[in-house]
Amino acid sequence: MAKPRYKRVLIKVSGEALMGGEAHGIDAATLKRVAADLIATKKMGVEVAVMVGGGNLVRGAQLAKTGIERAAADAMGLLATVMNAIALEDALKKAGASVRTLSGVPMPSICESYSRQRGRRSLKAGHIVVLAGGTGNPYFTTDTGAALRAAELKCEAIYKATNVDGVYDADPKKNPKAKRFDKLTHDEALSRDLKVMDEAAFALARDARLPIIVFSIHGTGAIASAVKGRGTHTTVVP
């Protein structure tokens, strides 16, 4: 049996991944599958932190185009990530997992506030740590939040679960001839302006010397398989 490559990881799950086949919101079956996959990953002996996005509910950058002030639009997007985190926490608990949800936006009546000390203690104690609220600030994506939290929590790698099976030189949904990369460096990803993560996230991961593994979340056991090094994926390395 293949063993996990890393002891402590951060898994970035986009809001869109939680929609399943729906056009908006959270698909119950998909949420249940993702929760089971995270638990299976934890059972392999891996300490698991999860950063959730909010694009299935609200995308701040898109709202800003309607005329809402960017900082206000991003605040709405951060609240959407908290909603997704609460849903994921509930699914994990129902499946028998021990969970701590920590928000970068303080809202103590709903969930605990994030601190790196609390996050590290929770991981060491065996909890799955669900991270909400991105960085806690506007103008930064949850990809950047994932890179920041991975560095703060001393994770060994970032696994980005997406709707495609790696990093391509063009959008594979629009260009059937798009080339998938097996391996890239952070600098190559930045210089090629590859859009799988934003520049701030790549730069943060590069400075923290964190590899980023990009894989498709679709399919049962996709996360656990990726953490074992199986399946099609792209590895972005220092």
Q: Which of 62-71, 153-162, 178-187 has the highest mean pLDDT?
A: 153-162
Is the pLDDT confidence value at 47 over 90?
A: yes
What is the pLDDT of the chain when averaged over all its residues?
93
How sure is the predictor about 160, in pLDDT bands with cuts at 50, 70 and 90? very high
Q: What share of the chain is helix, strand, coil (3-state, %, to 5)?
A: 40, 20, 40
Yes or no: say if 211 and 157 are a contact pair by the CB < 8 Å rule.
yes
Token duo for residue 90: 């509930």
Record: fold of 8-237? Carbamate kinase (3.40.1160)
**DSSP count for the chain of H helices, then E strands:** 8, 11
Q: What is the pLDDT of residues 199-222, one digit of tens each?
A: 899 899 999 999 999 999 998 999
Q: What is the pLDDT of residues 229-238, one digit of tens each?
A: 999 999 999 8
Q: Show me where the domains of the chain are located.
A: 8-237
CA–CA gap between residue 6 and residue 140 (Å, rounded):
27
Q: Which of 65-69, 152-156, 175-179 has the highest mean pLDDT?
A: 152-156
Q: What phi and psi, each to the nearest 5 degrees, are found at residue 108?
A: -60, -20
How sure is the predictor about 1, in pLDDT bands with cuts at 50, 70 and 90? low
Q: What is the reported pTM?
A: 0.94
Is the pLDDT confidence value at 2 over 80?
A: no
